[in-house]
Amino acid sequence: MKVGDLVTYWHQRTRWRKGGLAEVHLGTGPQSVHIGLIIETGKFTGNRDVKVLWTGSPEPLTECSQHLSLVDNSLTQP
């Protein structure tokens, strides 16, 4: 993963595959998914290695890249 990549949490991939973004509510609801933009990579506290600016969040959060998945064509195409 690199700066500028769009990501979601790895465990939310099945929600994307159930019907694409057309049926997914961003940020709220039982089938919500999180979408974020990687703004920095490095070594951070708690073995975290990326900073992600999540949709609807004013400040970036540090995350472990092993828990994230790139938002790519396999998630957005039916």
Identify the domain containing residue 37 by its residue range: 6-72
Q: Over the stretch 14-69, which tens digit does the pLDDT of each residue have?
A: 777 665 554 445 555 555 778 899 999 999 999 999 999 998 899 999 999 999 99
**Looking at the 3D structure of the chain, how many domains does it have?**
1
Q: Over the stretch 28-39, which tens digit does the pLDDT of each residue have?
A: 555 577 889 999
Question: What pLDDT is attached to residue 38?
Answer: 97
* Alpha carbon distance 54, 6 (integer Å): 10
Q: Answer whether 34's CB lies under 8 Å from 12's CB.
A: yes
Q: What is the DSSP string of 14-66?
A: HHHHTT-GGG--BSSSTT-B--EEEEEEEEETTTEEEEEEETT-SS-EEE-GG
- Residue 33 counted as domain residue: yes
Instruction: Indicate the pTM of the whole model.
Output: 0.78
